[in-house]
Amino acid sequence: MSKKYTNKINASTFIRTIYAPGYSSMMMSFYNVNLSFSFCRFIGRNNAGKPQFEKNHLTTSVNYEGAALLYHVIMPILNEANHWDEVKTTVPCNNAALIFEYKPDENNRMAAYITIEKNNQQISLKFPTLEYEYKKDGKFFTHVAQSGLGVLAKTIYGYLTAVGGDRHLNKMPDNSANSQDENQQASYPTGNNGGYQQGFNTMGNNQQGYQQGSSNGYQQSRNSGYQQGNYNR
Distance CA 227, CA 162 (A): 12
Segment 162-171 mean pLDDT: 60
The total of other beta-carbon atoms located within 10 Å of residue 32's CB is: 28
Model confidence at 120: pLDDT above 60: yes
Specify the amino acid at residue 35.
Answer: L
| Residue range 75-108, pLDDT digits in tens | 999 987 777 789 999 998 988 999 999 999 999 9
Q: How many CA atoms are closer than 13 Å to the CA of 218, on its beta-carbon side? A: 28
The CATH code of the domain at 3-176 is 2.30.31
Give helix 64-78 / helix 147-162 axis angle, nearest 10°. 140
Segment 199-209 mean pLDDT: 35
Report whether 56 contacts 183 (CB < 8 A): no
Distance CA 137, CA 143 (A): 15
The total of other beta-carbon atoms located within 10 Å of residue 151's CB is: 17
Distance CA 91, CA 158 (A): 18
Q: What is the pTM of this model?
A: 0.68
Distance CA 219, CA 198 (A): 10
Distance CA 211, CA 201 (A): 10
Which pLDDT value is given to residue 13? 87
Which pLDDT value is given to residue 174? 52
Distance CA 96, CA 116 (A): 7
Distance CA 160, CA 230 (A): 16
